Amino acid sequence: MQTWTLVSLSVLLGVVVRWGVSLNSYSGAGKSPMFGDYEAQRHWQEVTYNLPLQEWYFNTTDNDLNYWGLDYPPLTAYHSLICAYIAKTINPEWVDLHKSRGYESPAHKLFMRATVLVADLLIYIPAVVLYCLYLTDGSSKKKVSTLFCFLLYPGLILIDYGHFQYNGVSLGFALWGVLALGLGWDVFGSVAFCLALNYKQMELYHALPFFCYLLGKCIKLGPMGRGLLLLVRIASTVLVTFAICWLPFLSDPSQALQVVRRIFPVARGLFEDKVANAWCSLNVLIKIRSILSGDSQIYLSSACTLLAALPSSVRLLTKPTFWQFKLALANSSLAFFLFSYQVHEKSILLAALPACLLLNDLPLTVIWFLQASTFSMLPLFLKDGLLVPYAVTSMAFLFLSVYLLSALERCSEEELRLEAYHKLLFCLPKLDLACIVRWKFYISIALMAGLSFVSVALVPPPHLPDLFPVLVSIAAFLQFWGVFLYFNIVQFSGPHTRKSQKKNN
């Protein structure tokens, strides 16, 4: 009973923080003619409610795709339609065709913020609670502490409740998939992940680990008999789930092809804004977009992404354990973020989710990464007027997570799983790697705080207007690259044990 009381308080505090952030500004507030992501979500409600389904993804006189045209899979469109029906009931002006463009009012902002919270309460938060209670090790106190830190991750809160998006829906479905696989419910897990993929195509970041884990499990059970039966059940489940999601578009092949074109645009280039990945960071020295053609950039990014994700995926395929699955999710999503084509700064949330799954196992590294992931989106938060919630949530998360998870106490070489590094650095004298990691953590936090301060307090030189966003992206990229290498080494080190968790509980 006491555990569920603490769980309820953690969820309540998580909701309070979310709603507190929602009282601030949002993407594109008052900035005509395109406004921002807030208007994009509202506009999709307008389009899906007023136009026939056959026109949702096509450019028509009533649907100008250059003005926030739908570019997410069908489940996002269906979600927008549900929200639109509710909006129409409350105030028809909110979804009035053409006339509602750029609509902004306190009542409408309250409605839009409420739709995000309801989606989180229905999908994301229950999955977090169940995962932390049933699939993390340790005492009840440690599980609740992990849950609280999971819910307080500032990056997701600032994007969904500040900037304005519904990332909690796709991430929530993906988390339900992880939860189901962890409990041995492979078919249900397949359905959940298919829903995530049909809500946001960026869930492809997690697709390789799901595929390799399930295929590896089928192979382990035997290519005939139980293994084959499980493979058939999973394949059938995936096909049926996709067919149901895409059913209204399958009657006409041109409809389905247009949806695919919209959700996989290649005309935008290798990257747009200052994003903390390899291509944007390398662009400081080598202007890849000027040197290579558009097709060459696609081939290069695809090859680098697959090469980066391959070792982790092969490891998972040959050793399909849940521990390997969690690490592969982190490694695959980071590989996609660092090297894939047309990456947005908000895509780091796809790597943050699997990192959160490791909060109880590798607390210091994960807290470090989650802090860096929030910091990497600083230019976006400043653009949206979210400086105060960024500073408050980031500092609160850092302090509470380090304290509640005993991150600085749980950082011996054994608990950080650094034994493999000694093998890699055999030619060097034996180093106190745990001490080095702690000092790098302190320096990293100081660097992020310093760059956050100068980005706000100083004006860049006229000839270098993007100086601070570039410095932020490079600093974050270096940390992401370090964490990516670390997670890969941990995945290839010895099997996961619970010895350290037992010692701390």
pLDDT digits (tens, 9 = 90+) for 67-94: 999 999 999 999 999 999 999 999 999 9
Q: Give mean pLDDT, residues 27-45.
A: 93
Query: Is 63 a member of any domain?
Result: no
The boundaries of the domain holding residue 169 are 2-29+104-258+265-504
Q: Give mean pLDDT, residues 121-140.
A: 96
Kindly report which listed range (98-102, 171-175, 415-419, 433-437) carries the lowest average pLDDT score: 415-419
Query: Of 36-45, 222-231, 430-439, which has the strongest mean pLDDT?
Result: 36-45
Query: Is 238 a member of any domain?
Result: yes
Q: Give mean pLDDT, residues 345-370.
A: 96
Residue 295: which pLDDT band, with cuts at 50, 70 and 90?
confident
Tell me the pLDDT of the chain averaged across its residues: 92
The pLDDT of residue 429? 63
* Residue 224 burial class via C-beta count within 10 angstroms: exposed 0-12, middle 13-18, buried 19 and up: exposed
Query: Is 42 a member of any domain?
Result: no
Q: What is the pLDDT of residues 378-417, one digit of tens each?
A: 999 999 999 999 999 999 999 999 999 999 888 888 888 8
Ramachandran class of 277: left when φ > 0, alpha when ψ lies in -120 to 50, beta otherwise: beta
> Own/partner pairs for 413-422, CB < 8 Å, 24+ apart?
414/499, 414/500, 415/500, 416/362, 416/364, 416/365, 417/362, 417/490, 417/493, 419/493, 419/494, 420/489, 420/490, 420/492, 420/493, 421/489
CA separation for the pair 73, 245 (Å, rounded): 9
CA separation for the pair 102, 26 (Å, rounded): 13
The pLDDT of residue 80? 97
How big is the CA angle at 43 (ends 33 and 45), to the nearest 5 degrees? 170
Q: Which residue has the higher pLDDT, 273 or 426?
A: 273
The pLDDT of residue 399? 97
Q: Is pLDDT above 60 for 61?
A: yes
The percent of residues in the chain predicted with pLDDT above 90, rounded, is: 81
Q: Give mean pLDDT, residues 356-377.
A: 97
The pLDDT of residue 314? 96
Q: Is pLDDT above 60 for 157?
A: yes
Query: Is 157 a member of any domain?
Result: yes
Q: Kindly give, in sequence order, each residue whose CB lies less than 8 Å from that of residue 41, ignoring residues fewer than 6 positions away.
A: 80, 112, 164, 165, 166
Q: Is pLDDT above 90 for 424?
A: no
Query: Is 73 a member of any domain?
Result: no
Spatial contact of 175 and 203, defined as CB atoms under 8 Å apart: no
DSSP code string of 247-279: HHHHTSHHHHHHHHHHHS--TT-S--S--SSHH
CA separation for the pair 334, 480 (Å, rounded): 8
CA separation for the pair 179, 184 (Å, rounded): 9
Kindly report which listed range (26-35, 204-213, 300-309, 481-490) carries the lowest average pLDDT score: 26-35
Spatial contact of 155 and 373, defined as CB atoms under 8 Å apart: yes
Q: Give mean pLDDT, residues 42-62.
A: 95
What's the alpha-carbon Rg for the chain, to the nearest Å? 23
Q: Give mean pLDDT, residues 470-481.
A: 96
The pLDDT of residue 165? 96
The pLDDT of residue 490? 93
CA separation for the pair 412, 249 (Å, rounded): 55
Residue 497: which pLDDT band, with cuts at 50, 70 and 90?
low
The pLDDT of residue 284? 87
Ramachandran class of 68: left when φ > 0, alpha when ψ lies in -120 to 50, beta otherwise: left
Helical residues (DSSP H) of 1-36, grouped into ranges: 2-22
Query: Is 310 a member of any domain?
Result: yes
Query: Is 229 a member of any domain?
Result: yes
Residue 170: which pLDDT band, with cuts at 50, 70 and 90?
very high
Q: Is pLDDT above 80 for 496?
A: no
The percent of residues in the chain predicted with pLDDT above 70, rounded, is: 96
Torsion of CA 480, 485, 488, 493, to 10 degrees: -130
Q: Is pLDDT above 60 for 232?
A: yes
CA separation for the pair 408, 504 (Å, rounded): 12
Ramachandran class of 348: left when φ > 0, alpha when ψ lies in -120 to 50, beta otherwise: alpha
Spatial contact of 349 and 156, defined as CB atoms under 8 Å apart: yes
Residue 504: which pLDDT band, with cuts at 50, 70 and 90?
very low
Q: Is pLDDT above 80 for 501?
A: no
276: tokens are 């903390």
Q: Give mean pLDDT, residues 123-145.
A: 95
CA 116 to chain centre: 16
Q: Kindly give, in sequence order, each residue whose CB lies less than 8 Å from that of residue 479, ignoring residues fewer than 6 positions away.
A: 368, 369, 372, 444
The pLDDT of residue 234? 96
Q: Is pLDDT above 70 for 312?
A: yes
Query: Is 409 a member of any domain?
Result: yes
- Specify the DSSP class assigned to residue 222: -
Q: Kindly give, in sequence order, each residue whose CB lies less than 8 Å from that of residue 58, ignoring residues fewer than 6 positions away.
A: 65, 258
Residue 499: which pLDDT band, with cuts at 50, 70 and 90?
very low
Spatial contact of 439 and 446, defined as CB atoms under 8 Å apart: no
Q: In total, how many domains does the chain have? A: 1
Residue 503: which pLDDT band, with cuts at 50, 70 and 90?
very low
CA separation for the pair 275, 294 (Å, rounded): 19
Kindly report which listed range (101-105, 182-186, 407-411, 486-490) carries the lowest average pLDDT score: 407-411
The pLDDT of residue 428? 57
Q: Kindly give, in sequence order, each residue whose CB lies less than 8 Å from that of residue 408, ignoring residues fewer than 6 positions away.
A: 364, 402, 438
CA separation for the pair 132, 143 (Å, rounded): 6
Residue 293: which pLDDT band, with cuts at 50, 70 and 90?
confident
The pLDDT of residue 412? 82
Spatial contact of 370 and 150, defined as CB atoms under 8 Å apart: no
CA separation for the pair 56, 337 (Å, rounded): 29
CA separation for the pair 347, 202 (Å, rounded): 8
The pLDDT of residue 500? 40
The pLDDT of residue 502? 40
